[in-house]
Every structure is written in structure tokens, then in C-alpha cells.
Amino acid sequence: MSEEQQLRRSVTPWGSYSWGYADVGADIFVALGLVIGVAGGASNVAFLFAGLVYVCVGLAYTELAAAYPVAGGGQYFVMRGLGDFLGFIAGWAVLLDFTIDITLFAWGCVGYLSHLPVLGVLDASSHPILHFWIVLALIAGLAMLNIIGVRESTAFNGFVSAIDVFSEALILLLGFLFTFRPELLIHSMQTGWPNTFQLMNGISLAIISFVGLESISHAAEETSRPASIVPRTSIALILTILIFALAYSNLALGMQPWYPVPHDAAGHAQAFWQFLGTTQNQDKAVAVMASNIPYFGLLAAFYVPVFGATLLLISSNSGVFGSSRIAYSMSQFQLLPSVFKRVHRKFKTPVVSIVVFCVLAAIELIFAALQGDFGYEFLGDLYAFGAAASYTLVFIALIALRMTDPLTPRKFLIPFNIKMRFRGEEIYFPLVAVIGFIGIFAILVFVLLTHHIGRIAGPSWLLFGVIVYAVYRLRKKLPLFSSVKRDWNRDQVQILKNAGELELMDELVGKLKARDPDFTAKVT
């Protein structure tokens, strides 16, 4: 690869963590109200089920990103383990997620700002046209930020992530200290327990709280010494987000609000969690919670909407980053036209990919705006589908790579493996990947069963992608369902060299020469 086509390695350990936190950390801000709105008193159970699956997903991505530090993330892992066609399907599903990410979190950003008394005119329900134009302006601004460069974008993420980790922890601490009632939690679960359909719907939406860990793997090609940094940042992020998601869902169900909760349309008293789940509060649920904490709520009514909006903004920024890096990677491997790997001469960023997918995000915003009060749920439906589809393939790819590429050094190995031999090589079969596959496949089924929009729009997006892929591959006279022939061993040596992992590179070359004495690796 020529010098002008390489991404710049400028992401530090904190930058790597903040890219993941920028995407995943904001998810509870958008998912909490959506999940409570459908799962009610079982919202904490929905988050627990999705959280356990998320741990498996996180471990899988940690191992793969450390072993294969390239910009494509899940798309690259699936392509390398399962071939070009399934690699395209995985990448296209993640592209749906990241373009939705841009729109969904920009929408949520404006929603949290509308909780401020002076900015109530930004509320999507009461002023949809103004809300639409503000969200569109945010998308355009983020596109410009990412064109300027990942260093500037990462610095923005790191600053806000540090403040928001503290802010989210403070809300939980004061919330449990002053407003949490264990007996109210039990009562909410008993009286608000959903039916099976609603619980499946809630679980499928709860996975939204954990989407985005792959942002760390997308930044791996721009991270120094990724084999060492990625595992540390990923594990820290997994624990942070899991604790936050479970804590917020339990606090919401057991919270005694400071102010009286309004009555519903029929004039009956509402439980606080029912109030959070209304369409008027779904896009600002954490801010509503914080403003109902005694004493702190006076400050939180102004403080939390601002920082919630800022965190959602950097999560939307991560969507711009992630979609452009996936398209960049797919173009490198002839899954998308070469124009998507075009890098800006000055800023060294994939400018065409950034512009194209921000335009797609704007189109998704138009469709969401046409849904009226249900636009937020529309975006959530699509978000859940893309995540479940891509993660399902990543687990299969992890198993395949353990079996077909046992020589690549793995500084991080997910736990609970069965030692066995395959094609004359010693491998470790990952049980966690099997458990994770079962869990995420169940969530994919839940999405298709319970989301009337997701089960139509999601597969339609994949079908459109397959058509684009087929036209491109046929025009280039490339195989449609089979893969372009590649020397993955030599590619892996070059990847480790580019990443600065010279010890791992030497280890791999030694293993390859031991298996094939005639092996030579040309490293540029």
C-alpha cells in the first residue's frame, strides 16, 4: 500500500478507550427509555440478558482486534474467516448500524438539549421541523470534523468521555443514595412484568445499550501497539458499560422521584418508570431521572442535559468514524468500489467514505422524521437489526479463524477453550463464542419477530447491498460467492509490522517457516 493510502497512527490508549466509550457509553442514554417503554418492570432483566451477550461479544472483538489490528473490524474478521461474500454481508450490516448511529445519537443529542427550559423548542414532538434541521446541521458538522482528522476527533472524544464517566457515576451514586427503594423495585417488577412478546422486544432493544465496542477495533489500524493496548481498553470498557447499564435499569425501576409524577391520559397515577417510557421522555430518560434526585436534581436539570447531549454527539461522531473506516476497509479488499479508499492528501482521512455515509445518515433522518412521534423507535429498530446480524457472523468467524489460522499470535485469548487438533495443528476451540452465538442469534430472532419495521427495512438494506456488491463484482470480473485469492500469511506479517508489533511479527514468521521452510515474507 502506498504511503498516501495509509491511515495515520495517532490514537493513544485513552483515545482507544474513548472511541469505544463515545459509542457504547452513550447507548444507555438512548436505550433506557426505549426498553422501559416496552419491557416495563422487566427492563432490568432485558438489560441483563443483553449484557451477558455483550460480554461475549466484547471478548470476541477484543481477541480479534488485538490479533488483526486493521480498520475494518467485524467486517474484516468475517471476510478473513468466512470469505468475501459473508464478509460483505457483515460489513454492510455494520454500515447500517453506524449510519443509524450518526442519526440516532444526533437525534438524542437534540432531545437531551430540549430538556433544558430555555431550549424546549427543540423537542421533536412539539417542534419537529426545527428539530429536523438542527439534527441535520449536527450531521454536517461531524462530517467536517472527521475530514479534518482522527487526531482532532479523538481529542474531542477523550475530553468529553472523561467528564461523562464521572457524571454517569455521580448520577448513580446520588440516585441510589437518596431515591432508590428496594421494595419499590420489587413492586415494579411484580406489577409491571410484561408478556413474552414485550420481553423479547425489550431484549432486542436492550442490545442497543451495548452496540459500539467495535469502534475500538475500527481504530486499531490507527492505534500504536494495538496488540497490547486493545485488550486493556476493551476489558475496561466492557466492565464500565455493563455496570452502568444494569445500574441505571434497576435504579429506574426502584426510584422514588423528588417531584410528583404526572398522571397519564386517563388521569391515573403513573409509576416513575412508566413516565420514563413515554414517547415524550424516551429520548431524554437519563436527564429526567437525574432531575428527580433530591437537591442534586436542581443542578442536574441543567447539567445532565448538556453533558448527555455532548456524549450523544461524540457517539454520533463515532458513527461517522466507524462507517468511513468500514467502507475504507471493504474497498481495500474489493468488496466496494475503490473510490471509498480514497484518502485526503492533507488530512490522511477517507474523505469519500465520510461524505457518502453522512449523506445516507441524512436520508435516514428524513425517513425517521416522516414517522412523527415514532421516529426515534424507527431508528432503534434498525439499529438493533444491524447489530444482531453482524455480531452473529463475528462469532462464527472467530471459531473459523481459530481453526484455519492457528499460527497468528494472540496476546489475548477469550477464556474457556477446549484444546484439540485440526488439520495437524493444535487449536483451542472457544466455548464462549458458541454461547455468544446462541445468545446473539436469539436476539436477532427477537428483532425479526417483534419489530415490524426492522424485519422489513433491515433485510431490505441487506438485499440492496447484495445487489450493489453483485453489480460491482461482475463488472470487475471478480468471483461473486467465492473469494479473491489472497496470501493471508504474508498479509498478516505486514499487518503486524505496520502496527509496530515486531515481536509478534517475528513469532509469526518463525511459526510459518517451521511449517514451511521455503516461506519468505516480503515486508515493506
Of 391, 414, 444, the residue that ends a domain is: 444
Q: Is residue 75 part of a domain?
A: no
Q: Tell me: the pLDDT tens digits for 179-210?
A: 999 999 999 999 999 999 999 999 998 988 88
Q: Is residue 80 part of a domain?
A: no
- Binning pLDDT at 50, 70 and 90, where does residue 499 land? confident
Burial of 508 (0-12, 13-18, 19+ CB in 10 A): buried
- Residue 154: its pLDDT value, please? 56
Quick one: 437 and 520 in the same domain? no
Of 388, 419, 444, the residue that ends a domain is: 444
Q: Is residue 239 part of a domain?
A: yes
Q: Is residue 516 part of a domain?
A: yes
The cell numbers describing 148, all together, are 479534518
Quick one: 7 and 156 in the same domain? yes
Average pLDDT, the chain: 84
- Binning pLDDT at 50, 70 and 90, where does residue 384 land? confident
Q: Is residue 436 part of a domain?
A: yes
| Position with higher pLDDT, 216 vs 410 | 410
- Binning pLDDT at 50, 70 and 90, where does residue 122 land? confident
Q: Is residue 394 part of a domain?
A: no
> 3-state SS of 120-185?
HHHCCCCCHHHHHHHHHHHHHHHHHHHHHCHHHHHHHHHHHHHHHHHHHHHHHHHHHHHCECHHHH
- Residue 178: its pLDDT value, please? 92
Quick one: 214 and 281 in the same domain? yes
> 524 lies in which domain range?
487-524
- Residue 8: its pLDDT value, please? 47
- Binning pLDDT at 50, 70 and 90, where does residue 23 land? low
- Residue 9: its pLDDT value, please? 45
Q: Is residue 399 part of a domain?
A: no
- Residue 146: its pLDDT value, please? 80
Q: Is residue 182 part of a domain?
A: yes
Check: CB of residue 223 under 8 Å from CB of residue 11. Answer: yes
| Position with higher pLDDT, 410 vs 371 | 410
Q: Tell me: the pLDDT tens digits for 68-117?
A: 988 677 888 999 999 999 999 999 998 888 898 899 889 989 988 888 88
pTM of the model: 0.83
- Binning pLDDT at 50, 70 and 90, where does residue 135 land? very high
Domain count of the fold of the chain: 2
Q: What percent of the chain has pLDDT over 70?
A: 87
Alpha-carbon distance of 474 to 471, in angstroms, equals: 5
Could you tell me the CA-to-CA distances from 29 to 94, 111, 128, 206, 268 in Å, in that order? 21, 10, 20, 12, 27
Quick one: 350 and 288 in the same domain? yes
Quick one: 497 and 439 in the same domain? no
- Residue 4: its pLDDT value, please? 40
Of 409, 444, 479, the residue that ends a domain is: 444
Taking 50 as the threshold, does the pLDDT of residue 426 lie above it? yes
| Position with higher pLDDT, 290 vs 375 | 290
Task: Give the domain CATH number at 278.
Answer: 1.20.1740.10
